[in-house]
């Protein structure tokens, strides 16, 4: 019995030590996990009905995470000489991105437009840009054109 308790406590402590991953659709509190993972500097600005958490990466790439008044990351964007870690940035939506990019490999522009997820990405070496958002999480009055 004692061994079982020690084993359960060990598994729980390891699970608690796993890093939180901020991502598209995640809570605002997890943005710090992105900043730390990407080793970037964070700056927060306020727009009319949302916040923009900008993470400047050492590579020069700028990642923006758009946070709704409800505290959810409803969109992300990136621009710079290197692609950010999209697995980190897109979270649960990364698989949708990966499936679409496999179909369109070799293209300089990728567009994924599904009811639950939209992504546009393009560029070439040292000049990448893109954005992704969850239409259902867009705050009232916010349009996709505001995500840059």
- The one-character DSSP state at 51 is E
Model confidence pLDDT, tens digit, residues 33-90: 888 888 999 999 999 899 999 999 999 999 999 999 999 999 999 999 999 999 999 9
Distance CA 26, CA 7 (A): 30
pTM, two decimal places = 0.80
Taking 90 as the threshold, does the pLDDT of residue 10 lie above it? Answer: no
Contact 26, 47 (CB under 8 A): no
CA 84 to centroid of chain Cα atoms: 9
Predicted confidence (pLDDT) per residue in 95-148, tens digit: 988 887 765 555 578 999 999 999 999 998 899 999 999 999 999 999 999 999
Length of the chain: 148
Asked whether 43 and 34 are in contact (CB, 8 A), the reply is no
Q: How do the domains of the chain map onto residue ranges?
A: 20-146
How many CA atoms lie less than 13 Å away from 69 in the CB half-sphere? 7
């Amino acid at each position: 019995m004692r061994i079982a308790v020690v084993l359960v406590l060990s598994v729980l402590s390891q699970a608690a030590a796993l890093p939180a991953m901020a991502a598209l659709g995640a809570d605002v509190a997890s943005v710090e996990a992105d900043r730390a993972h990407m080793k970037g500097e964070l700056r927060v600005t306020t727009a009319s009905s949302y916040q923009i958490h900008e993470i400047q990466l050492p590579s020069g790439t700028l990642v923006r995470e758009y946070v709704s008044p409800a505290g959810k990351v409803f969109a992300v964007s990136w621009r710079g000489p290197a692609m950010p870690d999209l697995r980190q940035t897109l979270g649960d939506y990364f698989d949708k991105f990966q499936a679409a990019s496999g179909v369109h490999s070799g293209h300089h522009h990728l567009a994924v437009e599904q009811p639950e997820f939209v992504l546009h990405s393009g560029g070439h070496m040292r000049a990448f840009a893109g954005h992704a958002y969850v239409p259902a999480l867009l705050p009232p009055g916010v349009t996709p054109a505001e995500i840059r």
